[in-house]
Amino acid sequence: MGAWWWAVGALVVLLVVGLYLSMTAGRLDRLHRRIDTSLHALDTQLLRRSAQALDMAASGVYDPATAVVLADSAHGARAASDDDVVSRGLAESDLTRVLLEAIPDAQEADELREAAPDPTMLDDLRGTCVRVQLSRRFHNDAVRACRQVRRQRLVRWLHLAGHTPWPETVEMDDTPPPGLTAR
Amino acid sequence: MKIGIVCPYAWDVPGGVSAHIRDQAETLIEMGHDVSVITPVEDPDSLPPYAVDGGRPRSVPYNGSVARLTFGVKATARVRRWIREGEFDVLHVHEPLAPSLGVLACWSARGPMVATVHSSIERSRVLVTGYYLAQTALEKISALVAVSEHARRTIVDHLGGDAVLIPNGVRVDHYQDAPPLREWPGPAIGFLGRMDEPRKGLPILLEAFAGIRARIPDATLVLIGPGDPDEVLAEVPAALRSGIVVLGRLDEADKARALASLSVYVAPNTGGESFGIVLLEAMAAGAPVVASDLDAFARVLDEGRCGALFPVGDSAALEATVIDLLGNDEERRRLVAAGARRVAAYDWRTVAGDLIDVYASVTAGQSRVREDLRGQIVGRLARRRTAEGGAQ
């Protein structure tokens, strides 16, 4: 009789542990998926930003010097889009810095808006810059949440994360040009 | 963009969150987006065309006040069907921690999800008990928005992670041109909110009003908001009672007109406010504001530059502040002008633009919102029920 109860007890414990593990695995799967999508979203916004910067450089609103610097950094950012997280972050930060110089204040932004062949060009760029910043923030939040779960002992010991690489945050300067965000 | 919004509280019971959602939905529709709101509702016939019935709310005490929430298997089934049929580009859940439709939506959906946290939860008891559940629901959300610094702190302290600050909005155009509802015999002092909800602080104002009336005999106290006035005013002496006008619950347009008729608007709240939208509404309607110095109120009033502050719960200080202000037309005019400038930053058209940026950054290159059926016992039950319901 005693042995029977022990068996039932062990079975219940096993069941509970199993349920917990399967829930945690599901949770990890969800978190990894969220990281994938947030990284993809950030990638989309970054590509859009460099494309819009290139358009600006080619639109003739700038003096040749500014146009060259802007086009160069935008090209650099595009070329780095397949690189590792760190060097891509550096290239994108360079573009951020050049944009900052290219549209330093609201007055300059107004002048550019008037000179631009397409008046929505600057507002589109503003939107993209804000969205880059948001996307990166959301991505890093997702990474943080995932790391928290992956640090749990049980998750590490049982390799619940499988072969998914350790999630990395994206570090870069993503400050939108103040000339665009000033209201 | 096709946007699905989840409202946790009853649509036809006035409240900050449901008013926020109504304004959000209507502003987004005006901007040309396709919006559907699912919400608990007492009377489904009262719903506007863009809203969907999420079930009857039940009154339960939650986070220090009585909330009307909807939950259960039936509600889950409704949320699931709404998600399945809505084909939304993005799902926007309000108050994801309230045990209502919001949590159900988080469980039932996958894809781009945004959540807005409104209230500050000071006692973390709620979060400790529901921590695991809250985590699993929140982990699916791609972007968290907080309406105030207070609400943001709740997220940072209790949940980990961060939130984007997008303030609450006011439909300024609905308020600024509102003609006064009525002429009052003398200066009118206004209160807006549930009269029988202690945290709204009406007793403090009633106490101060006795003193104000002694100094300014023709002053009127105007009470706007739901609640049983006989119960609240039972203790008030008859002489004072004659100076109190109860307007009760007003619709949006009359609320704006009532605010526009006030000489001063008083917000004597004692806590639980994370933002203070009523303050902005009063400012938009051109009423000078006197408010208790809660963090949230001080922030909205720019530390007292756009309205007068008094210590929380101090009826003597409130009395003195109101008497001073009623005797100083110039200061009142100054506050009205400062308030009008302040409120422009909170205009819904600005706020909705910020929201669209958030939506765009979570939906870029993503598939739409879909139903999530993985590992959900409640969900499976609900699915069976809807299937049966469909067969009958």
Long-range contacts, stretch B123-126, CB < 8 angstroms, 24+ apart? B123/B64, B124/B157, B124/B158, B126/B62, B126/B63, B126/B97
pLDDT of B377 above 60? no
Q: Do A31 and B139 touch (CB under 8 A)?
A: yes
Quote the pLDDT of residue B391: 38
CATH homologous superfamily of domain B2-169+347-391? Glycogen Phosphorylase B; (3.40.50.2000)
| Cβ A146 vs Cβ A31: under 8 Å | yes
pLDDT of B220 above 80? yes
| Residues of chain B contacting residue A144, judged by C-beta atoms under 8 Å apart | 160-161
Domains B2-169+347-391 and B172-344 share a fold: yes
Q: Return the CA Rg of chain B.
A: 22
| Residues of chain A contacting residue B160, judged by C-beta atoms under 8 Å apart | 144-145, 148
Quote the pLDDT of residue B127: 57
| Residues of chain A contacting residue B140, judged by C-beta atoms under 8 Å apart | 30, 34
CA–CA gap between residue B89 and residue B96 (Å, rounded): 19
DSSP string, B295-333: HHHHHHTTTTTSSEEE-TT-HHHHHHHHHHHHT-HHHHH
pLDDT of B48 above 90? yes
Q: For A81-85, B136-140, B279-283, B310-314, which range has the lowest pLDDT when averaged over its residues?
A: B136-140
Quote the pLDDT of residue B239: 84
| Cβ B90 vs Cβ B1: under 8 Å | yes
- Report the chain B residue with the minimal C-alpha distance to residue A25: B375
Domain B172-344 annotated CATH 3.40.50.2000: yes
CATH tag for A20-177 (out of 3.40.50.150, 1.20.1440.20, 3.10.450.50, 1.10.3720.10): 1.20.1440.20
| Cβ A46 vs Cβ A136: under 8 Å | no
For residue range B169-218, list pLDDT tens digits in order: 888 988 988 899 888 989 999 999 888 888 899 999 999 999 999 999 99
Domain ranges across chain B: 2-169+347-391, 172-344
| Residues of chain A contacting residue B361, judged by C-beta atoms under 8 Å apart | 41, 45, 131-132, 134-135, 138
Task: Give chain A's contact residues with B (Cβ, < 8 Å).
Answer: 22-23, 26-27, 30-31, 34, 37-38, 40-41, 43-45, 48, 127, 130-132, 134-135, 137-138, 141-142, 144-145, 148, 183
pLDDT of B379 above 50? no
For residue range B263-300, list pLDDT tens digits in order: 999 999 998 776 778 899 999 999 999 999 998 899 88
Quote the pLDDT of residue B328: 92
Q: Do A37 and B360 touch (CB under 8 A)?
A: no
Quote the pLDDT of residue B189: 95
The whole-angstrom distance between residue A70's C-alpha and the CA centroid of its chain comes to 22
B contact residues 133-192, partner A, Cβ 8 Å cutoff: 136, 139-140, 142-144, 160-162, 164
The pair of structure tokens assigned to A25 is 């695995």
Quote the pLDDT of residue B195: 87
